[in-house]
Amino acid sequence: MQRLFLSALFSLLIISGQAQSEVKRPKLVVGLVMDQMRWDYLYRYYARYSETGGFKRLLNQGFSCENTLIPYAPTVTACGHSSIYTGTVPAVNGISGNGWWDKEKMRAVYCTEDKTVSTVGSSSTLGKMSPRNLLVTTICDELRLATNFKSKVIGVAIKDRGGILPAGHSANAAYWYDNTNGNWITSTYYMNELPKWVTDFNSQKIVEKYYEKGWNIMYPLTTYKQSTADDKSWEAKPFGAVFPYDLKKFIGKDYGKISTTPMGNSMTFEFAKAALTAEQLGTDEITDFLAVSFSSPDYIGHTFGPNSVEAEDGFLRLDQELGAFLNYLDLKVGKGQYTVFLSADHGAAHVPEFMEENRLPGGRAYIGKLVESMNKGLKEKYNLSGIIVSDDNYQIHLNHPLLDSAKAVKAEITEWIIQQLLAAPGIDRAFTLKDLNTTPLPVRIREMLNNGYHPARNGDIQFILKPGYIDAYSTTGTTHGLWNPYDAHIPLLWYGWGIKKGKTNRETFMTDIAPTLAALLHIQMPSGSTGAPIPEVLK
């Protein structure tokens, strides 16, 4: 009897020891990236955010890194998503823009294009995408490696690059929106046919239901005191002049307009919840990862500007839906059983005409037209057509095969282009990239440009716009992409399992997110990571 008791006690001690030695992790990590969210939106609309909404819950019950910056330029969507999840900059991860000029292929390349794969879930070509242009692993890849690929990883976004790049190379799936037919799709990189839950979601024709309701403001117009008047000449008008916006005319005709409304966020939340439930994410002891990007703030911001009623209404609605999503995670995964971070891929400049109206510096630089003019001048001067092949990512790319075959004087042509750039309205600096580290510049700006430079995917001449100026293609709306705080200062909120309550004003960086997650999960940092964990965040 005593021997039996000792044997049972010994077995219990072994089991207890094994339990104590297990690495503790949350059941689920949820990454939420707001496409085009300036840091100041957290406080600009704070008084109007709901007490049961998402932003106050994350701010007051979680941890806020108040001074989080993007450490590179250009500050655009693909770079932002890849840098958050890889813990490194474009100079290392290779995603140097939403697209770039490929010197070998002599054509523009889109960040997630992959001609070797096919669309799954649609007859369009919008699914010919994969993460193969990303040169390093993401934190999602590292989680998969750490669990011997037992963790599930799902990426979700309206934009393909917002779903694909965060999820990484080894993801179980990434899904994005096909604006030609209103379906959520993927590619053969991940699977050969859509899961039943995705086809069931698509069969709901949810976009048409949103169009049926239209878009009207949540509250009386007079309460939108943080916004300009509803009708401003510098706003594009895809739906009409003023609220309410009747969207019924788009039913069955234009599935893309949903992206420029708050209902694009609603649709993304609904798809993310469907993925969470159907894929049983966070239902066992093996940590899963759901990477969700919300594309609609970017479409709304570009179209109407940061000071518009549309932008304010969009974030007030987003706040309420974020709160509902956190409640859904409580229900499905369990309170305190999941970890959330919320950040943004970039901010945005104020609309130049808004700045001018308020006697603030800013304007539009029409770089595309300038390039056309310069190519025309170069043709007249050197009898060579198409010397400048691209102005992607605030850089001028030269046609080197043409210049080599013509035995043209590259140095002379380069200097001529630089002088033309410097004479153009809105351009503050222009210099060859080979001279980047000897050109007089503030250290931070030089470092950001170096961090954004990948030799195989970057150009010959860098230009920098004056503060408040944007690279414009039209006379309405705004954009982003520069080193300035309005583009590079982003929110970073943490919440849930393993997260302290509080805030820090210490300078942190977008590239610190993945290393912090790696520390939280006790896994290796991504293969190109140059960031550092944020110790204040972790319990």
Exposed/middle/buried for residue 243 (C-beta within 10 Å: 0-12, 13-18, 19+): middle
Section 438-445 average pLDDT:
97
Are 433 and 459 in contact, with CB atoms under 8 Å apart? Answer: yes
The 10s digit of each residue's pLDDT in 218-260 is: 999 999 999 999 999 999 999 999 999 999 999 999 999 999 9
Segments making up each domain of the chain, as ranges:
28-356+484-537, 363-466
Q: What CATH number is given for 363-466 in this structure?
A: 3.30.1360.150
User: Within 13 Å and on the Cβ side, how many CA atoms surround 297?
Assistant: 29
Dist CA 259 CA 249 (whole Å): 15
Dihedral angle at the C-alpha atoms of 366, 367, 369, 371, nearest 10 degrees? 170
- In DSSP terms, which residues pair with 463 in a beta bridge? 430
pTM of the full predicted structure? 0.95
Tokens standing for residue 421 = 């750039």
For the chain, the straight-line distance linking the first and the last C-alpha, in angstroms and rounded, comes to 45
The question of whether 268 is a catalytic residue gets the answer no
Percentage of the chain beyond pLDDT 70 is: 96
Out of 12-21, 88-97, 463-472, least confident range = 12-21
* pLDDT over 50 at 11, yes or no: no
pLDDT of residue 6: 44
pLDDT of residue 22: 81
Average pLDDT, the chain: 95
On the question of a common fold for 28-356+484-537 and 363-466, the answer reads no
Residues 6+ apart with CB under 8 A from 529: 86, 87, 88, 136, 511, 514, 515, 518
Please tell me the class of the 28-356+484-537 domain: alpha beta
Q: Could you say which of 68, 75, 77, 508 is catalytic?
A: 77
User: Within 13 Å and on the Cβ side, how many CA atoms surround 202?
Assistant: 21
The 10s digit of each residue's pLDDT in 400-437 is: 999 999 998 999 999 999 999 999 999 999 999 999 99
The 10s digit of each residue's pLDDT in 462-492 is: 999 999 999 999 999 999 999 999 999 999 9
Determine the length of the chain: 539
Section 115-123 average pLDDT:
98
Are 52 and 323 in contact, with CB atoms under 8 Å apart? Answer: yes
